[in-house]
Structure 1
Amino acid sequence: MMGLKFKDTHSSQYGLIVRSVDRNVLPPLKRREIEIPGKHGTYDFDGNVYEKRTISIEFGVVHYNFQDLRNKIRLIAAWLSGKGKLVFDDEPDKYYDAKIYQNVPLEQIISSGRFSVIFECQPFALSEDIENVATITSNNYNMIIENNGTIETPCIIELKNTGTSTITQITITKKVEV
């Protein structure tokens, strides 16, 4: 893997080497089942509702001396705090809403120059907003919007009358989840 961008800052700005440890294709399903006393097994309510996704990444810190390493550690810690868009170089058209909750032991970085983080993300990768704008000039107007993602996704439909005429502008904004 080449690198990643988190909160609009690329890992290369900190001289980091990035290795993906676990980037699963699908997050785990939420268990929706109940155990009934005296009944074998459980009753499963089905439904494809997913848990949060975890993405494990290992970073290597390129440094020249101990002082350089300590300075980079502080900058990296500030960069990785908070919530933001997580974009991988091998999938630049998708992002995850991500946050890191676990701390990274300082000893791990100092002793090996490497550290691991676990990003907790919403279940699906997102695309940037896809916007289709059309001017409607007749009573019968069809617009087809395709969801090229892998999960059902809501969209926002905005109708705007731009004047006194019967011409109406329609804007459909959709985020694709994959």
Structure 2
Amino acid sequence: MEFNYLNKSSFLFNGTDMYQRFGIQLTEEPQDVFQPGLRPRKTTIPNRSGAYDFGARFYDERALTLSCVTTRIIERAGVREISYLLSKKGTIRIWNEPGKYYVGRLYDAIELEQLRRVGNRFALVFSCEPFAYGETIQRNFQGLYAPNYTGTAATPTRIEITNTGVRDAVGIRIMQIDKKVA
């Protein structure tokens, strides 16, 4: 699914355009940390200064704050629908990161009554998985292909090989080269 808003007014949650459907508009660029914190793996040892560090490799969740305003009156049934929609874990797509999405959920309650008045401001704070995801890329090719991964975290890759010819496919080599940071 291609996601490319021309304005800064909306976000998608689980495929629902919150501005178009409910009149919930973003008031500013979403606030989140560029990189979530590393999860420390340390232990203190008695009679020794400091702590022993086992090396941090994994990241904590990230908080993604969306500052919003209501642009129209939302009837009680609409408020219930919003409550139901936001009660689940889902994908969050934002105008300033085309081709990327977060996976998260709300844990903090929002005062739903404030959605029933025009111009009310509120924040949605999603607890998200550490990194943004990119769209699934599918390529059909013959011969040599070197995928260009532009992400910042290790990600699983699925390679599916289909032989459409009449002869056996032989000599297939797949190499993994870890990305080096310059």
TM-score, with structure 1 as normaliser = 0.77
Percent sequence identity is 31
Given candidates 156, 163, 177, the residue that maps to 2:158 is 156
Name segments (4+ residues, structure 1) moved above 4 Å.
Answer: 107-112
Shift of 1:9: 0.8
Instruction: Return the structure number with greater strand share.
Output: 1
C-alpha separation in 2, matches of 1:135 and 1:5: 36
Deviation, 1:21, is 5.8
1:76 counterpart residue number: 82
For 1:151 and 1:9, the matched residues in 2 are separated by: 27
Match of 1:130 among 115, 137, 144: 137
For residue 75 of structure 1, report the CA deviation from its aligned partner: 2.8
Distance 2:162 2:129 in 1: 32
1:56 to 61, 65, 68: 65
Query: For 1:48 and 1:122, how far apart are their aligned partners in 2?
Result: 15
- The offset of 1:91, in angstroms, is 1.2
The answer on whether the counterparts of 1:63 and 1:69 sit within 8 Å (CA) in structure 2 is no
Match in the other structure for 1:17: 25
The runs of 5 or more residues in structure 1 that have no matched partner are 137-141, 173-178
Superposition RMSD on alpha carbons, in Å? 2.6
CA contact (8 A) 1:18 1:57 kept: yes
- Indicate how the Cα distance of structure 1 residues 51 and 151 shifts in structure 2: closer, same or farther if over 3 A, else same: same
- Using the size of structure 2 for normalisation, the TM-score is 0.76
Q: Structure 2: 5+ residue runs without aligned partners?
A: 1-7, 175-182
* Number of residue equivalences: 162
